[in-house]
Amino acid sequence: MDASLADLVSSLGDTAVDLLEAGEAEGWSPSTADDALGVVDVLCAVLAAHGGPLETSLTQVRAHIAAAQRGVRRDLPPAPRRGSAAAREEEQDGTARFRAWRDARVHQWPTPPRTRRSPWES
């Protein structure tokens, strides 16, 4: 393959835009969000290898990526009772919205419809 690094980076940029558009159109599932974060983490690790201020700033970015991945993977405690102080706190810090997104059935692969069999069929 004769592709230069500049061509590969350009191709990666185009792919990132396609990924963003697909995520906006179809919705992000926890597994695809985790995969996308993993790709960004790899890119940050490669760029941080150059050292200096770039390494320092990307180390902080990688820490935030790791925290986001833990949030996507980690089990949340059961939802608090509606109207309680804990429920209001989850609304304020965004945990309730995150829980609803992560647990939504929309983000899971659809199961095929069940077919009913007539008792007369054998």
Please check whether residue 97 lies inside any domain of the structure.
Answer: no
DSSP assignment of 24-41: HHH---HHHHHHHHHHHH
C-alpha distances in Å from residue 6, one per residue of 2, 44, 50, 115 = 11, 17, 17, 53
- Separation between Cα atoms, residue 27 and residue 94, nearest integer Å: 18
Please check whether residue 14 lies inside any domain of the structure.
Answer: no
Please check whether residue 19 lies inside any domain of the structure.
Answer: no
Please check whether residue 54 lies inside any domain of the structure.
Answer: yes
- Separation between Cα atoms, residue 98 and residue 30, nearest integer Å: 10
Query: How many domains would you assign to the chain?
Result: 1
Please check whether residue 52 lies inside any domain of the structure.
Answer: yes
Please check whether residue 59 lies inside any domain of the structure.
Answer: yes
Print the domain residue range for 50.
29-75
Q: Which residues contact 48 (CB under 8 A, 6 or more apart)?
A: 54, 55, 58, 59, 62
**pLDDT exceeds cutoff 50 at 72:** yes
**Which residue carries 């919705």 as its tokens?**
27
Please check whether residue 101 lies inside any domain of the structure.
Answer: no
pLDDT, one tens digit per residue, over 52-68 is 888 989 999 999 999 88
Q: Where does the pLDDT of residue 119 fall: very low under 50, low under 70, confident under 90, or very high at 90 and above?
A: low
For the whole model, what pTM was predicted?
Answer: 0.60
Which of 29-43, 66-80, 106-120 is predicted most confidently? 29-43
* Average of per-residue pLDDT values in the chain: 80
pLDDT mean over 5-9: 84
Please check whether residue 21 lies inside any domain of the structure.
Answer: no
Q: Give me Rg for the CA atoms of the chain.
A: 21
